[in-house]
Structure 1
């Protein structure tokens, strides 16, 4: 069976037709990175299609916001149940469209289920505050209310999980949704949104509460600019995020940004090197290095530097690379040729600085797809491409002498997403996670930089955008705060003891 035929079978199994994409524009060809063949052809959304989707979501907000939050949670519960019931075909779809290995595809679907479970509990915990008032017979409250239409712009590398982080929370908070996925992975969006619309309709609500549109940058720009959209949650490059932030600021609307990451792990003299090798390998080569949390820099104490490089090189030499649908594969393809070109340019820049590059070559015999052996790069110092994010499997390794120097190197990049330290020294672990340590939104001890759980708020600082999604109190990003003062007495005392008597 061809991959295109398998896609058609999966979509039929999920009850979704490729033509149900709310599009009437030019054809959008979807290719698999496995062998570059065409999976499907979808109609892209025109400006009129996008306007209709937003207007439908805006119209339904007026009723959805008044639905009790636990009732909204019931919709998200049903959505999670449908996703769980179709975990295998959804995981397969992710692998076909993104090139992720089978276990990573299934893991992403499980993440959708997990965040739905989190959001269902949250639907009964949208707490405000009661604050002591300085005035007698007064109550001071802080309450939370939905925003309106939330736009979600997602990237190709997590075509389902990132949307679910946003959608599950935004829905229980009382918002409606318009989703523009990456033009590289519209089939995953079509399938997942189809299940969400099924959940809505089974629970007695209109599927237009959650709309999906397809297109390129132009569609994203129109979505960001639309006055009915009150929050734009965007995942992608820092350059894209900067444009989104500026456009939102010009219209005084909110943005929630999850952008790039140039993540580092510090390896201390006391580190368990076996743990480091396993943790670093997964974080550096998982998803073929195409994660925002990918480990890109390994900052190693000079005393263990040579041994660790030797161990990692041995692992890299025997990595099973190939078709991600095969159970033995650990590294699948890059998404496209542009990713390969970016990788080779970074490796050339590293060589020009005196680096020793191990591997990084394209695998022969698998064209026109883009399979590479992940690169391990010994850098004489932290400079050049090591200070930049390249969305490909490159792990730069450099040495340090003092722990303070290592922390400074960790923080010496524009991004601030994820970081890690491997140590058995309690002082080093505590210092790394303190205000004097890592400046990233995620700071781990004795695990790698990738693989965050949904219970904690996910996101980073600096050019990573500052947004937080998924767990903890990330729900507040999807709501507006109101301060309420209630006078249940018969007098009107003013704050700060001010007297203003107009009765004569």
Structure 2
């Protein structure tokens, strides 16, 4: 048993999840390997749920919803408060488990759990702010108002790169809105999901919430399809690739359900002549190599003015040369492993295609750079910078790996055209001290993304703002602002407190 496996099992025990491998029913097919990208070792094997199992989980969640929807929202908030307190108590353990299973460096694993805590805090406050409107009516002796009611069972499908935060964005809001949640995590990060489920069960026990309000189902495509197709699930929130989203959306639409999609990104930073280059370099490096380039908000394109391109590229190359690569459990590491062999191969293939398109590899690109006794089975790469002659097909694609393409512009209009000339529309940024450029970038004629930042990179969103994007990113919004409305249904009420019955629009019917 590897050190990573031992640590993972110890953490699961402390989080209340026990040993999930011992809990697999006798005779069940253990077809789901749980592995760590740190060393490639298998931690254990779990069994997939069947389509019937998914239906049973949805049924249990629906029964819980029928009780939960009648509980006053501020009381529902107490459940989420308890969950937030448990996350505070177990932050170090859950953060380490995220690092073990997703390959994030420890700081990012802890940051992801802090994000869960933050959304719980926001949701608890929101539980007293689920307000509608009072609307002026043309009819005397009448009152018109708008109310928001619980929606039902929310299906959550999450990706490996944010194995716990994305669930919490959906679940914390759904719970205070009066909904139940059935979660299908990525097959690459099942243990973190089981740990969160154990914490949610304990929070429900402490708060007196209904049993089965939160459910986890494990498996591959068939399990996701069963969840997506179930008519008892009025909302499916799916995070993943654009390809996945384009399959989920029509299936949900076919039964007139709702989809909340958070899909791919191909995020850029425009670096203007006036930019503070010290600030730009720091922002670019974190956004491009954080989580080994495996964030949906990772920086993939730098669009730099021709007058400062050489200086910026030189600075970036020097910064890249200092990046510690290795086990994410080592507190000095800044770049951990890619999640699996497929990502490893995609990294090399994309660089080869970029070079075939005339690109110049400025730095990085080496593979297996961190092989050691602790990491020998993991897929480690050296983050790459590629100077491109133009925005070719490979640049327009999202490669989930630390590759940064450098493009050059001469006019601000050209920079905006390059920026928007990709199918994805998640996050974006500009580094400039010119207020006109900054304001134009965040205006209707600037960035076409759901997130547009000035003098920070595209990565690292806070939970107070609604998160999501446009175009092939899917159009969904999660987390803060008014994202809670996606988890509720709206009812418009007209109350007649008079003795007359006037009709709207002056219609007479006698």
The answer (yes or no) to whether the contact 1:198–1:207 under 8 Å persists in 2 is: no
Show the 5 A alignment for 1:40-79: 40-79=44-83
Deviates more, 1:253-262 or 1:20-29: 20-29
Within 1, Cα distance between the matches of 2:177 and 2:207? 17
Provide closer, same or farther for how the CA distance between residues 55 and 18 of structure 1 changes in structure 2, counting only shifts above 3 A. farther
Within 2, Cα distance between the matches of 1:460 and 1:18? 38
TM-score relative to the length of structure 1 = 0.98
The answer (yes or no) to whether the contact 1:23–1:214 under 8 Å persists in 2 is: no
- Residue 363 in 1 paired to residue 372 in 2? no
- CA offset digits 1:144-195 (Å, max 9, x no partner): 1111000000000000100000000000000001000000000000001110
Partner in structure 2 of residue 5 of structure 1: 6
Partner in structure 2 of residue 426 of structure 1: 435
Cα deviation for residue 229 of structure 1 reads 0.7
Show the 5 A alignment for 1:275-354: 275-354=279-358
Partner in structure 1 of residue 412 of structure 2: 403
Task: Structure 1 unaligned segments of length 5 or more: list them.
Answer: none
Partner in structure 1 of residue 37 of structure 2: 33
Cα deviation for residue 483 of structure 1 reads 0.8
- CA offset digits 1:324-361 (Å, max 9, x no partner): 11111000000001001111111111101110012111
What secondary structure does 1:346 align onto? helix
Partner in structure 1 of residue 121 of structure 2: 117
Partner in structure 1 of residue 498 of structure 2: 489
Show the 5 A alignment for 1:58-137: 58-137=62-141
Cα deviation for residue 48 of structure 1 reads 2.6
Deviates more, 1:162-171 or 1:46-55: 46-55
The match for 1:193 among 197, 215, 223 is 197
The answer (yes or no) to whether the contact 1:165–1:470 under 8 Å persists in 2 is: yes
Cα deviation for residue 384 of structure 1 reads 2.0
- CA offset digits 1:462-487 (Å, max 9, x no partner): 00000000000000000111111111
Cα deviation for residue 382 of structure 1 reads 1.3
TM-score relative to the length of structure 2 = 0.97
Within 1, Cα distance between the matches of 2:489 and 2:416? 37
Provide closer, same or farther for how the CA distance between residues 336 and 218 of structure 1 changes in structure 2, counting only shifts above 3 A. same
Task: Structure 2 unaligned segments of length 5 or more: list them.
Answer: none
Alignment coverage as a number of residue pairs = 501
The answer (yes or no) to whether the contact 1:30–1:40 under 8 Å persists in 2 is: yes
Within 2, Cα distance between the matches of 1:354 and 1:416? 26
Cα deviation for residue 38 of structure 1 reads 1.1
- Residue 445 in 1 paired to residue 445 in 2? no
What secondary structure does 2:212 align onto? helix
Cα deviation for residue 18 of structure 1 reads 3.6
Within 1, Cα distance between the matches of 2:192 and 2:502? 58
Provide closer, same or farther for how the CA distance between residues 227 and 399 of structure 1 changes in structure 2, counting only shifts above 3 A. same
Deviates more, 1:37-46 or 1:233-242: 37-46
RMSD: 1.2
Within 2, Cα distance between the matches of 1:41 and 1:85? 28
